[in-house]
Amino acid sequence: MERVIIDMDEVIADPMGEMISWYQETHGGKVDFEKMLVGSWVKGFPEQHWEMVMERLLAPGFFRYLPVMQDSVEVIREMNRRYEIFIVSAATEFPNSLKDKLEWLLEHFSFISWKQLVLCGDKRVICGDYMIDDHVKNLQHFKGKSFLFTTPHNLRVTGYERINDWREAGAIFLK
Amino acid sequence: MERVIIDMDEVIADPMGEMISWYQETHGGKVDFEKMLVGSWVKGFPEQHWEMVMERLLAPGFFRYLPVMQDSVEVIREMNRRYEIFIVSAATEFPNSLKDKLEWLLEHFSFISWKQLVLCGDKRVICGDYMIDDHVKNLQHFKGKSFLFTTPHNLRVTGYERINDWREAGAIFLK
């Protein structure tokens, strides 16, 4: 069975979407998607609110209640029958996110086992046949085939085959 | 730089030793090292206490305050200068252990970054040049060179080159 490495944030979970919704509700502020193009969605928030956004990211519970990316459950459920799936998240920078991410995954992707989750800091140590990720830093050292999952912060990145949403992923992996 | 994958429990941290000390202090009971030879140190405790031992393993805090294996800090500090070191622990079975393991590592191995920690369920997804681990299930799929770190539960295992303690590891990796 071929192994597919799937990222969590901005790929199957939506921390950016959750943060924007919360920010708009509580501060009525606007997010500048252009500024995310330096590689981080946090940069899309006004600079005077970066600290507040980071504090919320670091707090226990934030990663526990994130929206699930559209169609990801249905497509990955079927992929899980045909491939060896690992969900790999660069998470050790955020100590409070670790348990939250595990519980979130087991709740929403109930067909995925704890054996299939990897929480790490640097994905160079991960090997597989395919990797789906929104960050070039994770894809560039990968020995298998890489797919850049499209999200506002990577719109200007070139040189990678893209997956724009989970229906596209299904068309590639379940054909 | 060559990459060395180092396990946590029974290799750099000592949950078995901690559990035995606690058990002897609180229950005055004896541990049967012969029974660990089926592959798990939990089996060394009397069967009527397995549930209690497992409960303690699963509780928040247990992995936060474990003894450090002798000489491991000094040897790994030097290895960290000459190799790309990753500390890889099969931990996602124990949700409460995740943050504890990160904090324990950063406290005792202060020269190791959060980027060098991997918390996973199945080590087949990990690649590197060398792996030091006390479980055959982790070593058997590894593509690089494997070393079995000696601990009471694996004394009867054959077919692997052994490292019996961290002075031996130093003699191998720092020669």
Range in A16-25, A26-35, A158-167 the model is least confident about: A26-35
ipTM: 0.95
Q: A17 to chain B, minimum CA–CA distance in Å? A: 25
Residue A25, classed as helix, strand or coil, is helix
**pLDDT number for residue A129:** 98
In this prediction, residues A26-46 reach a mean pLDDT of 91
pLDDT confidence band for A132 (50 / 70 / 90): very high
Cβ neighbours around A53 below 10 Å, total: 19
The catalytic residues of A are: 7, 9
What residue in A sits closest to B120 (Cα-Cα)?
A118
Inter-residue contact A160 to A154 (CB < 8 Å): no
Report helix angle B166-173 to B72-82, nearest 10: 20
CB-based contact B98 A93, cutoff 8 Å: no
Integer Cα distance of A161 and A85 in angstroms: 20
Backbone dihedral angles phi then psi of residue A108, each to the nearest 5 degrees: -85, -30
pLDDT tens, B114-151? 999 999 999 999 999 999 999 999 999 999 999 999 99
pLDDT tier at B104 (50, 70, 90 boundaries)? very high
Question: What would the CATH number be for the domain defined by B3-14+66-173?
Answer: 3.40.50.1000
Instruction: Identify the pLDDT of residue A38.
Output: 86
pLDDT at A61: 96
Residues of A in Cβ contact (< 8 Å) with B138: none
- Please answer yes or no on whether A102 and B98 come within 8 Å at the CB atom: yes
Please judge whether B127 and A127 are an interchain contact, meaning their C-beta atoms are less than 8 angstroms apart: yes
Chain A residues whose beta carbon lies within 8 Å of the beta carbon of residue B88: 125
What local confidence, expressed as pLDDT, does residue A70 receive?
A: 98
* Nearest CB neighbour to A126, from listed B116, B117, B125: B125
Question: B127 vs A122: CB contact, 8 Å cut-off?
Answer: no
Q: Which of B39, B98, B107, B41 is nearest to B68 (CA)?
A: B107
Residue in B117, B61, B95 with CA at minimum distance from that of residue A99: B95
> What does the pLDDT read at residue A49?
93
Question: Residues A39-57: what's their mean pLDDT?
Answer: 93
Q: How far is B143 from chain A (nearest CA, A)?
A: 11
> Hey, how many other C-beta atoms are within 10 angstroms of the C-beta on A146?
19
The residues of chain A that CATH labels 3.40.50.1000 are 3-14+66-173
List the single residue in A with minimal CA-CA distance to B114.
A92
Reported as a pLDDT band with limits 50, 70 and 90, residue B69 is very high
- Report how many Cβ contacts below 8 Å link chain A to chain B: 81
- Residue B28 in this model has a pLDDT that exceeds 90: no
> What does the pLDDT look like over A65-101, one tens digit per residue?
999 999 999 999 999 999 999 999 999 999 999 999 9
Give the per-residue pLDDT at A166. Answer: 98
Percent of chain B scored above 70 by pLDDT? 100
pLDDT of A152 > 90? The answer is yes
Neighbouring C-beta atoms of residue A111, cutoff 10 Å: 13
Q: Do A125 and B120 touch (CB under 8 A)?
A: no
